[in-house]
Amino acid sequence: MRMSLLFIPLLLAQIPIVHAAAIHDAATKGDVAAITAALDAGAGVDESDGKATPLYLAVKGGHFAAAKLLIERGADVNAAPTPLLGPALMLALAKRRIDLINLLLDGGANPNSHRARENALHIAVRSGCLDCVKALVEAGADVNAKTKDGKTPLHLAKFTGQRDVAGYLLSHGVVLPTPAPISMKLATADVEKGRTYFTRLCAGCHSAEPQGGTKTGPNLWSVVGRDKASMAKMRYSDALLGWEGVWTYEDLNRYLFGPMLTTPGVYMETPGVPDETERIDVIAYLRTLSDKPIPLP
Ligand code: HEC
């Protein structure tokens, strides 16, 4: 008797929490009737259980009808438990659930929403889902968006050998940047600075000695004027193998401007040398790695 009297205030204090618990529980299970009941009893449609909203939980459980109901009842489709996790769209993409993706996009989900280091479109490409890529692009996703470490959706598609995705992206607004020509500026370059940059940025992966072997990247002795992707011991990407001709100063300029941007699919996943002056100095230094340096233009 005494015990139950003690519990009454406790129970009263818990009534709002009981609502919250009910709607989160129902969303996790995809129980449409229970969600409706909880909402009708006054539960907030975007109430967090301390981590996630009911919509996020419904999508996490893969429950289409529950997610649809919550959106119809006004749920915020872009709510994210944490910036690291991102909104429910990220879950739907990771699951390759095109029905949920379309439901969320039609409900106003931001096609450019992102989680930790990448955008929705990067996740769609990584998960190898052409339909997901199309849905996002049709909803307005930026096809040139970069991950924190500079990877575009096209780079990811080519790197993972997804020709259909790559082809779709190329015909839907991908822009491959072309840096301004630099050949005429090589004569005034600072070769010593170029050597310093090379030591700092490139030498970890590339030997520059005549007899140097292959590291992560090919030996760069005599690289200017050499056939692209032609070192015997090296396994090159299709991106480099498919780029015809010898390394001219302008091709090096284009490549080093941003390998993943200008040569998507490349195995050299580094920022390259985006600064023009530094890039000119590095190219002028590469020119010296030869018994007979190619004449300056
Ligand atoms: C993390 C390792 C890494 C770093 C750092 C790196 N590279 Fe590379 N590099 C590679 C790999 C791997 C390849 C082969 C790429 C491919 O097959 O797609 C490559 C290819 C090249 C090629 C083409 C060579 C050929 O045989 O056709 C050039 C030129 C080049 N790198 C220059 C540079 C320069 C200059 C720097 C510094 C600014 C640099 N790399 C930094 C790994 C690296």
Query: Residue 80: inside a domain, yes or no?
Result: no
CATH code at position 265 = 1.10.760.10
**Residue 48 in domain:** no
Residue 199: inside a domain: yes
Residue 263 φ then ψ, to 5°: -130, 60
What confidence score (pLDDT) does residue 21 get? 84
pLDDT of residue 11 exceeding 80: no
Is 267 a pocket residue for ligand 1 (Cβ < 6 Å)? yes
DSSP string computed for the chain:
-HHHHHHHHHHHHTHHHHHHHHHHHHHHHT-HHHHHHHHHTT--TT--SSS--HHHHHHHTT-HHHHHHHHHTT--TT--S-TTT--HHHHHHHTT-HHHHHHHHHTT--TT-EETTEEHHHHHHHTT-HHHHHHHHHTT--TT---TTS--HHHHHHHTT-HHHHHHHHTTT-----PPP-GGGGGG--HHHHHHHHHHHTTTT---STT---SSS---TT-TTSBTT--TT----HHHHTS-SB--HHHHHHHHH-HHHHSTT-S--S----SHHHHHHHHHHHHTSSSSPPPP-
CA–centroid distance, residue 206 to ligand 1 (Å) = 7
Check pLDDT > 80 for residue 2. no
Say yes or no: CB of residue 208 within 6 Å of ligand 1.
no
Residue 52 to residue 163: CA distance in whole angstroms:
37
Q: Which of 159, 160, 202 to mutate to test the pocket of ligand 1 (most atoms within 8 A of CB)?
A: 202
Residue 277 forms part of a structural domain: yes
- Contact between residue 136 and residue 124 where contact means Cβ atoms under 8 Å apart: yes
In a domain, 263, yes or no: yes
Q: In testing the pocket of ligand 1, which one of 151, 205, 233, 236 has its CB within 8 Å of the most ligand atoms?
A: 205
135 lines ligand 1 (CB under 6 A): no
Q: What is the mean pLDDT of the chain?
A: 94
CB-ligand 1 contact for 231 (6 Å cutoff): yes
Confidence of residue 1 (pLDDT cuts 50, 70, 90): very low
Tens digit of each residue's pLDDT (9 = 90 or more) over 24-72: 999 999 999 999 999 999 999 999 999 999 999 999 999 999 999 999 9
Q: Is residue 53 part of a domain?
A: no
pTM across the whole model: 0.91
Domain limits for position 193:
183-287
42: in domain: no
Does residue 203 have its Cβ closer than 6 Å to ligand 1?
Answer: no
Residue 143 lies in a domain: no
**Residues 227, 229: Cα–Cα separation, whole Å:** 6
Predicted pLDDT of residue 43? 94
**pLDDT tens-digit series, residues 178-216:** 999 999 999 999 999 999 999 999 999 999 999 999 999
**Cβ of 266 below 6 Å from ligand 1:** yes
pLDDT at 137: 98
pLDDT of 73 over the 90 cut: yes
pLDDT (average), residues 253-276: 98
Q: How many domains does the chain have?
A: 1
- 5 Cβ neighbours under 8 A, 6+ residues apart: none
